[in-house]
Copies of this chain bind each other. A is one copy, B any other.
């Protein structure tokens, strides 16, 4: 940082903050070039003598110069910011995804602005705050945007990518697992192991993920000639909801022997509920299959058999889409569906 002083960049009156940052002006002066030329050196498309560019880039590195993205965005209307809206943070699936998404976005030079709403209601205000930074795009995890918020994104010119859970809005992008297929896999898995009476534990009823997994599961079961599975409404994607669902499960006159849950966290709650409240054995009395394959599913205390999500592929697809959208936000909305991974068989299922 000595070079900063070499340059003679003084703190200046505006910087009570003590921020002495190298600006394009400093760099230009140091190099004896015009600001325009220096600026151009940073853009591959810009026409500038190769030798000049090299000189600029080299000196920039030495002085630790980086273009100020705030100033850039004022001119370019691009911010290199990806908004990330999250609400259902209690599902461990999302921290895992957030972390990997953020890393991927950093790699393409984007920064992530995080909006996290404990309650769904509070999301709107936060989205407004986010939008004032004009993010190049916003990625929505496990949250449902109000139609007002969606409209605001549109007027702000920030396209929305729904990750995992899709939106009913036809104007937004989506990256998701082929959940219906995943539901079908769960059905095949249980039927192959000779289960006869199946059930589905439904989470948040309106979530696309929930509906697709349910429908895929039911459809396949019926196709295979078994009776249509019972559906128990747990109400949300949470451990508690799964735990409560065990109560309703206990009331069934004919007890199912195979259960597919909307996701892992619901499955874990359901299993605990079934064990504690109904005194049943898993997998002795019933088999339970989850969806996601979060790290916890692999813990010995749980050993959950589950349909794995193709997280790597989903993250890559999202990052790629982000790169495209950052370059040209006018792409037409598209929904990408990735095939689920193979079922991971652990200890919550067995052959009947």
Contact = CB atoms under 8 A, between A and B. Distances in A.
Interface of A: 1, 4, 14-21, 66-71, 73-79, 84, 86, 89-90, 92, 94-96, 98-100, 102-103, 106, 109, 111-118, 122, 125-126, 128-130, 132-134, 151, 155-157, 239, 243, 268-269, 271-273, 275-276, 295, 299-302, 329-330
Contacts of A102: 114-116
Nearest to A277: B300
Q: How many copies does the complex hold?
A: 2
Given A1-B151, A111-B130, 17 more contacts: A17-B77, A17-B157, A17-B329, A19-B134, A21-B134, A67-B132, A69-B133, A70-B73, A70-B79, A74-B74, A103-B126, A106-B125, A111-B113, A111-B133, A272-B301, A276-B300, A301-B302
Contacts of A74: 68, 70-71, 74
B116 A129 contact: no
A18 B118 contact: no
B84 A1 contact: no
A78 B84 CA distance: 22
Contact of A21 (B18, B92, B103, B156): B156
11 contacts: A15-B157, A19-B77, A19-B134, A21-B134, A67-B132, A89-B98, A95-B95, A98-B116, A102-B114, A113-B113, A269-B299
B114 A84 contact: yes
Contacts of A125: 106
A99 B95 CA distance: 10
Contacts of A21: 134, 156
Contact of A89 (B95, B115, B116, B271): B95
Contacts of A117: 103
